[in-house]
């Protein structure tokens, strides 16, 4: 099987959905898996999701991107505004660690700190939320790539000519938003729809509900 580049949308603590799509994908060490951020918060099993992602580093080339929920988590662990994070879904994450922020293992903190803001291959680039079409990836404002929903700004084709793969803006239909130059694969798993994995070259999709039921 040739090497694949696969992206996974916002997981939000839905470990059963992640396990289901990973089993179907059947990753190899030649594959690149780009996770688009928002691994934690709102769903019940954020700790398990982070543990799975750490394990995946031994099974494939994992490229974990930072989402705004990971940023809130990191800042809270470092002594920032915990209350803001808790009201944005962080309460569920803390509960998955036994109810105490101090229970979060150092290796989980290290994993989150190592997440990057963007990644690119020859034909596609990947960010959590959004981008400015006229700016290089290295010059993107943090607010755009981590926080800005497509409802507020739909960018045009990027100056690189590459197709953007993003998450963050939930597609309540459960379907990928495909604008040609941009594809949003946050298909609202935490809201009763699907977790989506997408092979960006072949277009093959894998989807599962929060309970791990595969879409056929």
DSSP 182: E
pLDDT band at 2 (very low <50, low <70, confident <90, very high): confident
Whether 6 and 57 have beta carbons less than 8 Å apart is answered as no
Model pLDDT, residue 99: 98
pLDDT mean across residues, the chain: 97
DSSP H/E element including 6:
strand 5-8
Over the stretch 169-198, which tens digit does the pLDDT of each residue have? Answer: 999 999 999 999 999 999 999 999 999 999
Over the stretch 35-74, which tens digit does the pLDDT of each residue have? Answer: 999 999 999 999 999 999 999 999 999 999 999 999 999 9
User: What is the residue extent of each domain of the chain?
Assistant: 5-208
- Averaged pLDDT for residues 188-214: 98
How are beta strands 163-166 and 182-184 bridged, if at all? Answer: parallel
**pTM over 0.85, yes/no:** yes
152 alpha-carbon distance from chain centroid: 20
User: Angle at CA 115, nearest 5°, toward 203 and 190?
Assistant: 60
- Averaged pLDDT for residues 134-153: 98
Domain 5-208 has CATH 3.60.21.10: yes
Whether 106 and 97 have beta carbons less than 8 Å apart is answered as no
Percent of the chain with pLDDT over 70: 100
d(C-alpha 56, C-alpha 203), whole Å: 22
């Amino acid at each position: 099987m040739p090497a694949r580049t696969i992206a996974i949308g916002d997981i939000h603590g839905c470990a059963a959905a992640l396990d289901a799509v990973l089993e179907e994908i059947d990753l190899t060490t030649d594959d690149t898996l780009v996770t688009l951020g928002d691994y934690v918060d709102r769903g019940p099993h954020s700790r398990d999701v982070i543990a799975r992602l750490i394990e995946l580093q031994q099974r494939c080339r994992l490229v974990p991107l930072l989402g705004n929920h990971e940023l809130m988590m990191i800042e809270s662990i470092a002594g920032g505004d915990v209350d803001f994070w808790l009201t944005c879904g962080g309460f569920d994450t803390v509960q998955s660690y036994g109810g105490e922020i101090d229970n979060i293992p150092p290796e989980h903190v290290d994993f989150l700190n190592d997440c990057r803001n963007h990644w690119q291959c020859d034909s596609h680039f990947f960010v959590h939320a959004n981008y400015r079409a006229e700016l290089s990836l290295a010059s993107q404002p943090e607010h755009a790539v981590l926080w800005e929903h497509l409802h507020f700004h739909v960018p045009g084709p990027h100056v690189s000519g590459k197709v953007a793969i993003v998450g963050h803006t939930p597609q309540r239909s459960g379907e990928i938003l495909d604008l040609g130059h941009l594809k949003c694969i946050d298909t609202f798993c935490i809201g009763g729809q699907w977790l989506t994995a997408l092979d960006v070259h072949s277009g093959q999709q894998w989807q599962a509900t929060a309970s791990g039921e595969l879409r056929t």
